[in-house]
């Protein structure tokens, strides 16, 4: 029942973003088309937020437990963050990529629905649950925007044969807050783990992968700081760091130690 509503939400969401994209690439830019470019995805964001709120009341628990539920939040934050960045930078490619990325994650939820339950195991019944997961999802979305920006940078660099410094700076400006949020999420997770299990860090595969993601972004920040001229290396590393992030979030089960993790999504 809930997933049937998601179908409708997705169609509306994608249509709104698509309409925004059409007015974005309209040849004769008018004042109205400028407004529509901004307003359409804005409504799409509200729509998704309302759907999550609906899911929350329907499930009688925060919808942050399963992989499908985290993908929903992620889609919302990617959509919201790329929209906000567009308002500030007017970057057209990022607008499109943000639209595509959030739609893809919603589409995965529609094609691969998961078993929905109101049940929440006792360890998850904690005031740390919501801030820990939500902050991680915002961080992942900000870092996704950083990755998309750097991909645009790579494309421009190849096309123009000069390094696209502007997009690297924009990307790094996203990496800083993304990394800050990653740290906040990780420390909250550590404090919560201590309260629930008695250890703030237990080298569980999920924790180790999370540390790896954190270290990769830390290296990006320090590379940018110590070797500002190594821009090509930085671009590669930024893209690669996001791959590590995606593995941490969605793919650890495919690695040797992954399946023994206690942090697998319910």
Partner 1 sequence: MANNSKSKYIFALMNYSKWKIGFLIPVSLIAIGLLLQITIGNFPLHFFDFPTNLIVISEVFIVVLLMYFFLRKYLAIKFLSSGYAALSALVLLTFCVVGMVLIPQNHNDNGILSMLGLNDIINSWFYALSILFLLISLGLITVKRLFPFNIRNFFFFLNHFGLWIVLAFGNLGQADKTNIQITIPEGELIWYGYDKNNEYFEPDFAIELTEFIIDFYPPKLALTNNKGEIVNPKIFQPTDLVKNERISVLDTEIVVVDILENAITTKDTVLRVMGLPEKTYVAILEINGEEFFIQNGTSFQPPVFANLNNQYNLTMLNPEPKYFGSDIRLYTKSGISNQKHLIEVNKPLKIESWTIYQTSYFKSPEYKSYISVFTAVYDPWLKIVYTGFIMMFVGAIYLTFSRNIKSKKQK
Closest to partner 1 by CB, 53 vs 259, is 259
Nearest CA-CA partner of 175 in 193, 153, 204, 156: 153
| Choices 36-44, 73-81, 146-154, 208-216 (CB under 8 A): range interacting with partner 1 | 208-216
H, E, C per residue of the chain: CHHHHHHHHHHHHHHHHHHHHHHHCCCCCCHHHHHHHHHHHHHHHHHHHHHHHHHHHHHCCCCCCCHHHHHHHHHHHHHHHHHHHHHHHCCHHHHHHHHHHHHHHHHHHHHCCCCCCCCCCHHHCCCCHHHHHHHHHHHHHHHHHHHHHHHHHHHHHHHHCCCCHHHHHHHHHHHHHHHHHHHHHHHHHHHHHHHHHCCCCCCCHHHHHHHHHHHHHHHHHHHHHHCCCCHHHHHHHHHHHHHHHHHHHHHHHHCCCHHHCCCCCC
Pick the binder of partner 1 from 54, 100, 107, 200 (CB under 8 A).
200
**Considering only residues 215-234, where is the footprint of partner 1 by CB under 8 A?**
215-216, 218-219, 222-223, 225-227
Closest to partner 1 by CB, 29 vs 199, is 199
| Choices 18-26, 36-44, 89-97, 206-214 (CB under 8 A): range interacting with partner 1 | 206-214
**Considering only residues 67-126, where is the footprint of partner 1 by CB under 8 A?**
113-123, 125-126
Residue 185 Cα distances to 29, 78, 188, 204, angstroms: 42, 17, 5, 16
- Please, what is the minimum distance in Å from the beta carbon of residue 117 to partner 1? 7
- Please, what is the minimum distance in Å from the beta carbon of residue 46 to partner 1? 24
Number of residues engaging partner 1 in binding (CB under 8 A): 55
- Please, what is the minimum distance in Å from the beta carbon of residue 33 to partner 1? 28
Pick the binder of partner 1 from 14, 36, 196, 239 (CB under 8 A).
196
- Please, what is the minimum distance in Å from the beta carbon of residue 232 to partner 1? 16
Closest to partner 1 by CB, 3 vs 155, is 3
Pick the binder of partner 1 from 39, 212, 246, 250 (CB under 8 A).
212
| Choices 8-16, 35-43, 97-105, 193-201 (CB under 8 A): range interacting with partner 1 | 193-201
Contact 205, 103 (CB under 8 A): no
Pick the binder of partner 1 from 211, 239, 246, 250 (CB under 8 A).
211
Closest to partner 1 by CB, 43 vs 211, is 211
Token readout for 35 is: 């407004």
Place of tokens 């001229």: 229
> Interface residues with partner 1 (CB under 8 A)?
1, 3, 113-123, 125-126, 169, 172-173, 176-177, 179-181, 183-184, 187, 190-191, 194-201, 203, 205, 208-209, 211-212, 215-216, 218-219, 222-223, 225-227, 252, 255-257
């Amino acid at each position: 029942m809930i997933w049937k509503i998601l179908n409708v939400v997705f169609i509306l969401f994608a249509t709104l973003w698509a309409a925004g994209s059409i007015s974005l690439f309209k040849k004769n830019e008018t004042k109205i088309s400028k407004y529509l470019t901004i307003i359409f995805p804005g409504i799409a964001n509200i729509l998704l937020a309302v759907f999550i709120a609906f899911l929350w009341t329907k499930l009688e628990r925060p919808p942050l437990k399963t992989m499908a539920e985290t993908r929903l939040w992620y889609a919302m934050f990617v959509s919201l963050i790329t929209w906000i960045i567009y308002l500030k930078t007017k970057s057209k490619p990022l607008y499109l990529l943000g639209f595509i990325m959030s739609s893809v994650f919603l589409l995965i939820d529609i094609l691969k629905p998961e078993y929905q339950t109101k049940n929440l195991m006792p360890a998850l019944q904690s005031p740390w649950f919501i801030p820990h997961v939500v902050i991680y999802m915002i961080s992942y979305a900000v870092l996704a925007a950083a990755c998309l920006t750097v991909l645009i940078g790579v494309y421009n660099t190849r096309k123009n044969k000069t390094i696209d410094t502007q997009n690297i700076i924009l990307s790094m400006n996203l990496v800083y807050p993304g990394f800050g949020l990653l740290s906040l999420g990780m420390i909250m997770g550590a404090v919560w783990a201590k309260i629930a299990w008695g250890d703030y860090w237990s080298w569980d595969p999920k924790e180790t992968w999370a540390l790896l993601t954190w270290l990769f972004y830390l290296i990006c920040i320090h590379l940018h700081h110590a070797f500002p001229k190594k821009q090509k290396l930085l671009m590669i590393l930024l893209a690669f760091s996001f791959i590590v992030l995606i593995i941490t979030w969605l793919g650890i089960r495919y690695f040797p130690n992954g399946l023994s993790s206690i942090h697998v999504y319910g």
